[in-house]
Every structure is written in C-alpha cells, then in structure tokens.
Structure 1
C-alpha cells in the first residue's frame, strides 16, 4: 500500500473512531417546537442518524437544566458535547459534520445566509407563535385538532366549547392581547410576501442548494401551516392545517409549495412512534 493510500486509510479510521466514541446523536425536543423542527430538517438533510428524546414540559425541563444549564429545546448531545440553541446547534453540525454544508464559504453568501437565519428566528419564529395562539382562540376546529389523537371525545368537546373570550384572556396573561396578535399577523404576511418574491426565480433563498436560511424559514413557519405527510407525530387532522387568514390564502401558496418540496426532497418521514408517555403536541410558550 502506498504512503498516500495509508494516509487516506488512517484518516478514515480516525473518523470512524471518533464516531464510535460519540455514539448516536441525541436531540432533546418537543415534537411541536418549530425551533426543534429547524434542526430536524438539518439533520435529515445531512443524512445524520439521531435519537429523539421527548422532554416533558415542567419536570422534564428541570432535567434539561441539569444537562445544558438552561430549559429550552432544542438541545443536542454528541458524545460528551452538549449544545443548546438552534443556531449554535446548526453551526456545530456544519463544523463537525461538513458533508452537505449548510453555511456557504463565500463571505457575501455566508453573511446573507446568517443574516436571513437570524431574521427567521427573530421575526418568523416569534410571530408564528403569536399567530398560533391567536388562531387557537378564534378557530374551534383548529383548537381541537391540536389535541392528541387519543384525547377522549368529551374532553375535545369541552375544549372546543371554551368561549373565545377566555382564550383572549389567556393571551393577555402572557402579554398577547388582540393588538399584539394583529401585529404578528401583519408582520407574518409581510415576511411571507417577501419570501414569495425571493423564491420567484430561484430554487433556494441564498444559493443553488439548501442552506441554513432555507431550513430556518421552513421549520419556523410550521406553526403558520403544519406540513402534510408523516413528518411529525401530530394528529392527522392537524396536518396541512394552519392559521386562518394566512395558511388559507392563495397569495402565499407559492411559498408553501416551495416548503412542501423542500420537505419531500430532504425531510425523512417518521418510521416509528415515540416512547409511551411522551407528549408530542406540547408547545412551550415563554
């Protein structure tokens, strides 16, 4: 064997040794967290195998605090490495698993990608949560669709019959009165309009292949309209459903068609159900 071949062999052995020591990636998650969904998209795009660990809201987050020093998901465990925050996880994955890079090397494109991802986190992500809360208060069928599929009928009927005024009161309790929700709707419509224009004559937001910007935008619009297909462990009645006045408008169909194609091309469908006792439809609202 030549010296060059030996070096290549040694490099492959070294990589395999590192992977063996790390074991399978573990993603601490809420099934219905849109920030977690951003990371699941990236993991699937890179072809990385990982184990989902569902965090129970409340007590489970105390355990998460001991592991990561904070209580928010997502958190990624890679051997002895613990990484919190979706942006930090994305950057870690691109550095440690460089196949199919999601952050461009070209300085201008890199800056545009990172800027767009931050915009998605701070505008789309936050406003999508507000829009979802508002829609839960206004749309009875949407409200009951969010409930797990094994919810007893009497409880579904009870939740569906709760007056909208009571949900509005809940919204005020977390700082989301009617004006805040209206502003979130308007901001979301502006963001989706901008995305439709950007994607009018190009396949992806920054380059000719998907980047962190694409996966951030796709994942963080989950609350506005849930993806169809067997990608999430959510009730069937919730798939393809979304925020009234946004998800059902033909104006934004080009964007959601683009997102559906991104899912079809890169997101892996679920092959098994989560462990018993998991709460797949929990939503963390700060």
Structure 2
C-alpha cells in the first residue's frame, strides 16, 4: 500500500491526498512529528520536508513531483493533460498555486492566529482545559506579531500576503464563473492543487480532515467569510464532495494518521 508521510494541516499534504483520492488509490497516512520525526524521515528518504510518498521501495518528495510520479505510475484518471495548450495551462496554474496560494495562505493563516483571539482558540482540541485556552487567547497580538517579524511572519508580510490572496481569490472566482474546471472539461492537477492548497483559507465543511469540529467550514476571517469569494469556495467544496474520501474511522486510507515510529 502507498504510504504518505505528512502533516495533517499541511496544504501541500492535502494537495497530494486529494490527488490520491481522485485517482482512487489506497494509501496510509503517516503523521510526521515535527523535529525528531523529520530526522527519521530524512534517514528513510533523504528528505526532511513533507509530503513524501512511499511506493514499495521508492520514495518521492515534493507535492508536484509526487503528482507527476502518480500520473506516470497510475495512469488511470490522468490529471495532467496531453494536449499542448491544456497541458501548458495546467502546469502554469499548478506552479502559480504552489507559490502564491500555498505560501501566502500559510502567512495569512499565521496572521489570523496572531491577530484574532477567537480564531486562535478555535484550533485547539476540545479536550484542552478552559484555563489553558484562556492563557492562549490572552497572549497579546502585538507580542505574537513581534515574534513573527523575525521569521517572515510580521505584520507587513501578513498584510502583503492577504492582499495577494484577495487578488488570487477574485481571479479564481472570475475564471470559474462560467466553467466547471480551471482547465478543460475534466479535473486536472490545476484544480486539485488549487483546491487542496486553499484548505487553510477555509477548511472544507465535510468530514475530510482531522481538525477540531468547530473549524470545519471556517477559515481566515475576512477571506473565508467574504461573500465575493463564495462562488470559489462552493466550487472547491463540490470538488471535495465528488472526489475527496471522507474520514470514516475504518480502514487505513481514511483513518486517523499513524505517527511515524522513531527507532
């Protein structure tokens, strides 16, 4: 069985999960513990970053490389067009989504946690004591913003990321106004990349991810709840309803992630 080394809240891992589900491939999720788990992953595969796909003795890193590998090895339900114009458009959008929605989305998500007390608390599991939730919520936004400045997540960087995402979401909404998919008449890597990477902008409402129940259908305030972008998120959610396998708690494919074992 295919094994996906991942972080559950990684948009790039979600991009691969969506591709695997679209192709109908069975796989086991292995949650990599940040830090020590990444060292073990490096020992196994030569890579510290997730996602990494294991297929037999073969390890493939990077979500784009995994997509190309899966389309070569498992050609049923292809996701990369062969017609030159459609192929070019698909690859262009996929690369843009990785660099724009993926990276800016991460910054905007961190910014929302820093600036919005209620959103910060909402990502905590339900079994976290109220006292600890109060402590997390009480951390001043200014302090969190100051901490983020040194690692590229300061207020200016977050503001710029949000502006970029607003333009991205407007563009996607306009492109999808009168067409079912971003490229051609069938889902492609472009659609699956954009849909998966938009996960942390607004979490899908269905039971697809191991996230707190209160987060499902919610996302970054000012983006996830803006009516102008509702057509895009409705399109994304229809794609999920058609192709993403919901969690059932039975079987390895859609069970809770198994943590990587450390020797």
Within 2, Cα distance between the matches of 1:217 and 1:276?
26
Which entry has the higher C-alpha Rg, 1 or 2? 1
The equivalences for 1:94-173 within 5 A come to 94-173=71-150
RMSD across aligned C-alpha pairs, in angstroms? Answer: 1.3
Q: TM-score, normalised by structure 2?
A: 0.94
Contact 1:142 1:241 in 2 (8 A): no
Pairwise CA distance, 1:98: 0.5
The equivalences for 1:195-210 within 5 A come to 195-210=172-187
Partner of 1:21: none
Pairwise CA distance, 1:167: 1.2
Partner of 2:216: 239
Partner of 2:158: 181
- The CA deviation string for residues 236-263 of structure 1, in whole angstroms up to 9 with x for no partner, is 0111111111111101000000001000
**Which segments of structure 1 move beyond 4 Å, counting only runs of 4 or more?**
275-278
1:227 aligns with 2:204: yes
1:84 aligns with 2:61: yes
1:253 aligns with 2:235: no
- The CA deviation string for residues 123-157 of structure 1, in whole angstroms up to 9 with x for no partner, is 11000001001100111111011122332222111
Partner of 1:51: 28
- The CA deviation string for residues 167-214 of structure 1, in whole angstroms up to 9 with x for no partner, is 111211212221111110010010111101110110000011110000
Distance 1:227 1:47, change over 3 A: same
Distance 1:147 1:276, change over 3 A: farther
1:60 aligns with 2:37: yes
Count of equivalent residues:
255
Pairwise CA distance, 1:275: 5.7
1:72 aligns with 2:72: no
Q: TM-score, normalised by structure 1?
A: 0.87
